[in-house]
């Protein structure tokens, strides 16, 4: 799929008809991602799992994690606004949360949301907005409070960077640049837009327990992007299960320890059953 497909302003819903979802929403099918045109048949009577990527990133960058999750009720992912094949305008945390909720509701049933890094903040914001489709959260290396703002975020924070990258992205959109340069510019612009609102968004993010919604947290003690102190504070604020720590893993936890993430998903699904 070309990065240029699906251009246009983002709409509040990704559903285009009963059982249909956007071409930047993906279902995991036996070792590969495919465009999800309709929810897969529920073979296990368990909730589906929806993966939310961080920044930079896309809906395909999950390594072996989908294989470890395939025993559940279906595994889905999507490109957040401005990333991957989703060429809609990037935006703040609320826009991302509304997009997540729309994707989750489009899957037609309760979902366990796995939010990685900034994707964890998106998941928490969607929960605070009252997204009824979310049955549980698994927050992986969560960048969801002000302590998680790192050097890359600060480097892209000045508003002028978003203006400059935005102009460059316009040139990329009309096909005046090579494909590789276009992908880099689109990603840089999305990162600049999100970084520009990140400090305010994470400072106001309401991370608190929600009745009936189990929350699990998985993190690495060797994470140099999101410090363990930030993770501990977040877990305490959300009333999450005790953090599942990996002694040796850094920020790329979904790629390095997919089995640990899958164990956390199994734990919250047991919580739903209870």
Which residue in this structure is represented by tokens 């799992």? 49
Q: Is residue 135 part of a domain?
A: yes
Say if 168 falls within a structural domain.
no
Whether residue 79 lies inside any domain: the answer is yes
Name the one residue in this structure whose structure tokens are 């999950």.
Answer: 62
If one counts the domains in the chain, the total is 1
pTM value? 0.89
Residue 192 is inside which H or E element, if any? helix 179-204
Give the closest residue to 136 by CA, choosing from 151, 147, 126. Answer: 126
CB-CB contact of 217 with 144 (8 Å): no
The answer to the question of residue 191 being in a domain is no
DSSP conformational letter for 240: P
Q: Does residue 115 belong to any structural domain of this protein?
A: yes
In a domain, 18, yes or no: no
- DSSP for 13-32? ----STT---TTEEEEETTE
In a domain, 184, yes or no: no
Concatenated DSSP letters for 36-98? -SSPPP-SSSS-EEEEE--SS--TT--TTHHHHHTTSS-EEEEPPTTSTT--SPP--HHHHHH
In a domain, 161, yes or no: no
Looking up residue 130, the CATH number of its domain turns out to be: 3.40.50.1820
> Domain range for residue 31?
25-149+202-273
pLDDT, one tens digit for every residue, the chain (274 residues): 222 233 233 233 344 444 555 789 999 987 788 888 655 545 557 899 999 999 999 999 999 999 999 888 899 999 999 998 898 899 999 999 999 999 999 988 899 999 999 999 999 999 999 999 999 999 999 999 988 988 888 988 998 888 888 887 776 666 666 777 778 888 999 999 999 999 999 999 988 878 889 999 999 999 999 999 999 999 999 999 999 999 999 999 999 999 999 999 999 998 887 6
């Amino acid at each position: 799929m070309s990065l240029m497909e699906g251009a246009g302003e983002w709409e509040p819903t990704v559903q285009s008809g009963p059982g249909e979802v956007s071409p930047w929403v993906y279902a995991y099918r036996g070792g590969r991602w495919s465009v999800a045109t309709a929810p897969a048949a529920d073979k296990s009577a368990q909730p589906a799992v929806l993966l939310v990527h961080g920044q930079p990133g896309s809906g395909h960058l999950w390594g072996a994690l989908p294989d470890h999750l395939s025993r559940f009720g279906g595994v889905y992912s999507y490109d957040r606004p401005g990333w991957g094949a989703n060429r809609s305008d990037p935006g703040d945390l609320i826009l991302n949360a509304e997009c997540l909720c729309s994707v989750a509701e489009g899957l037609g049933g309760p979902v366990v949301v796995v939010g990685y890094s900034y994707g964890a903040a998106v998941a928490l914001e969607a929960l605070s907005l009252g997204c009824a489709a979310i049955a549980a959260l698994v927050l992986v290396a969560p960048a969801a409070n002000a302590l998680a703002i790192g050097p890359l975020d600060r480097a892209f924070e000045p508003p002028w960077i978003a203006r400059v990258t935005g102009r460059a992205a316009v040139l990329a959109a009309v096909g005046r640049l090579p494909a590789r340069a276009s992908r880099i510019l689109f990603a840089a612009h999305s990162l600049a837009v999100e970084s520009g609102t990140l400090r305010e968004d994470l400072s106001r993010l309401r991370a608190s327990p929600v009745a009936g919604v189990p929350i699990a947290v998985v993190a690495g003690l060797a994470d140099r992007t999101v410090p363990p102190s930030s993770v501990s504070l977040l877990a305490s604020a959300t009333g999450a299960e005790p953090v599942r720590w990996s002694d040796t893993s850094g920020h790329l936890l979904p790629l390095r320890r997919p089995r640990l993430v899958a164990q956390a998903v199994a734990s919250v699904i047991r919580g739903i059953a209870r």
